[in-house]
Amino acid sequence: MKIARLYIQLLLPLCLLFGCSPTISTFDQNAYTQVTSLKVDALDLMSKATDDYTAHESEVKVVQLNIDKAIEYDKHRPHNEITTKMWTIINDPDGHLFGGFLVKWKKDGKCGAAYVADKKKQIGSAFDQIAELESKKIKPSEVTQ
Residue pLDDT, tens place only, 95-145: 999 999 999 999 999 999 999 999 999 999 999 999 999 999 998 776 555
Q: How much is the pTM? A: 0.81
Written as one letter, the residue type at 18 is: F
In the chain, at which residue ranges do the beta strands (DSSP E only) sit?
A: none
Over the stretch 11-35, which tens digit does the pLDDT of each residue have?
445 444 445 555 789 999 999 999 9
Over the stretch 80-100, which tens digit does the pLDDT of each residue have?
999 999 999 999 999 999 999
H helices within 48-139, ranges in order? Answer: 57-75, 81-91, 98-108, 113-136
Return the SS3 of 22: coil
Over the stretch 40-57, which tens digit does the pLDDT of each residue have?
999 999 999 999 999 999
For the chain, the structural domain boundaries read 24-143
